[in-house]
Structure 1
């Protein structure tokens, strides 16, 4: 007797909603309406005779039964995706799909991508900078680059390099902060905050012991890129994040407003499926980006040794 399976479209809705803990985000990922996701999951619950989600005014959460069922459904979709990818000649020439943050892509990845193209001229690369969670291998991505304090279960994580935090501003703005002794007066400074960043001014102020500053005052923006642009326009002092701010420091658009550079608790990681496919160009991409990261770390260490303080 053949196995009786629930409706596969409803299972897809359930997997995405369970992973995102949101009908809205699941709908955006699957290119359907939140109502379609909600109705599909209601139908699935009726078919199974169980409640998969707790629905509250502030959002949804998985029930204990739903969380247990999600682990089986996610594994099933992953096995289907991996099996499909390993079919002979399946999309043999498809692009290498990479997900990463937009500022990292524009300031670190893209300037180096020509080195990969020189080694693999026939390999195409797709870079996705949308702010969404990636599920391996279901979502079709080969790699992601993430800033995280530690690896997360469910994927293979390889550390690339760390991040350093240092205050930066325009040269003219730094001059405007100087007191009668020529030293920057932090009391005059407008702090530029990035709303989405967990490590912001509070982290730097506590680590350096800088006092008499309210870490909540100042200008707020929603991306690192906007923070750097605002600082270069003389609107205040941003918390520079190396390596993302390196280009502005090298060009002179921004300067370090203090010598106190601290290590971030997070690092950049290359993430991929634990049992992903082994296409030659994917192995080549992994080897290339790890070599670039190692070279960057060595160059950065040398610069720190020779930079006068």
Structure 2
């Protein structure tokens, strides 16, 4: 990467938002620039009705992301030094951007596929846990390693882990801090697919393309119902599901899908 290249590469194509963490020489560690750009990108993707799904990966073949840059992001988060330059100033104006950048929270409902091309550690693993469908290179590892640095995995992992994998596995990941192999991650259900490194992005793209065949609102409302109802008693969960179903039924796309099926033609969805 040259000095002029952005720390995140972003493009849109055929209903898919492609997001590439672009600091391969730093194992795609989160920089202030990367985090600020990611926040801007998620706002863009959320507002764009043409985008059905996002695909996140890391540049190079060594790392998806190694988490927060210990020389810039962590000192700024802990307020142990003053910001220098535009990106550090923008990041320091609202340090919660770290959490929004890696989708900590439940307000982003478009599907996200992660192509885990290399090691996903600390904040990088937390970012993976915020994604919905995960494709991992057989040579990669994933680990919530913060405790070994005297830190806590407060980017969503302490809430998400036990909802995504068995309790004992969640506690091992959080407390031992040792990365799991791709095979172990697959066996525990932490990832959907494990493939050779050269097939990670093609497989993730294939899954993203299949997702993009759905109607934008139907996709987002499906994810919203599943995320918001997770862990709630059935009565409360069914209310959320019913509201999401009602919201989607009011869209033009909900009428277009059945009409296109009856007319034996591909549906034309507008996100309305």
- Superposition TM-score tier, normalisation by shorter sequence: under 0.3
Structure possessing the higher radius of gyration over alpha carbons: 1
| TM-score, length basis structure 1 | 0.23
Bigger fraction of residues in strand: 1
